[in-house]
Amino acid sequence: MGSNWVLQTQGSVTFPANFMLVGAMNPCPCGFYGDPFRKCTCPSSLVSRYQKRISGPFLDRVDIFIEVPHIDYEKLADDRLGEKSDKVQARVTTARKIQRQRFRDTRLNSNADMTPTEVREFCRVEESAQSLLKAAMKQLYLSARAFHRILKLARTIADLENVETIKAHHLAEAIQYRPRSLV
């Protein structure tokens, strides 16, 4: 479900809290670290300090990290459109129905609400994909929390494809959304 916040003064009141946090940050103070067109003017020690301002435990609780690169004029001015919104909406609606059905006899509403126990129950991974997950754990030094977040996200990606078992490409996509060290 969500967390409950408790305020204490002369008594306590519990408010339900279930929210989505969306954030953005530059890779460094000048904003150009890793940019292929503009040179970063920050010393590497400053870039490192800047990036470490957000704690590891906080980052471990974020599901999706996406790096947004510089976009060329040609891509911005291109008249071709991406996938139509109504198609995306239909896919999301179907995935939400799948999740409601999956969790119908539980207190859960979505894949994001799963605890490690429910992840074990509902996130069945194709046998051939297990090695990818094992390699990611070793090479990326993933925590148990990151491991479960990857599985929950892979479960959602599989739901968007209307597939019961999590496959290697679902895991690969979920893994790519984990943070990478920039420095």
What pLDDT band is residue 183 in, cutting at 50, 70 and 90? very low
pLDDT digits (tens, 9 = 90+) for 78-115: 888 888 999 999 999 999 999 999 999 999 999 999 99
Burial class (CB in 10 A: 0-12, 13-18, 19+), 80: exposed
Q: Mean of the pLDDT values across residues 131-149?
A: 93
As a whole number of angstroms, the distance between CA 115 and CA 148 comes to: 8
Instruction: Determine contact, residues 54/25, Cβ cutoff 8 Å.
Output: yes
Share the mean pLDDT of the chain. 89
Residue 71 has pLDDT above 90, yes or no: no
Residues 6+ apart with CB under 8 A from 8: none
Instruction: Determine contact, residues 29/53, Cβ cutoff 8 Å.
Output: no
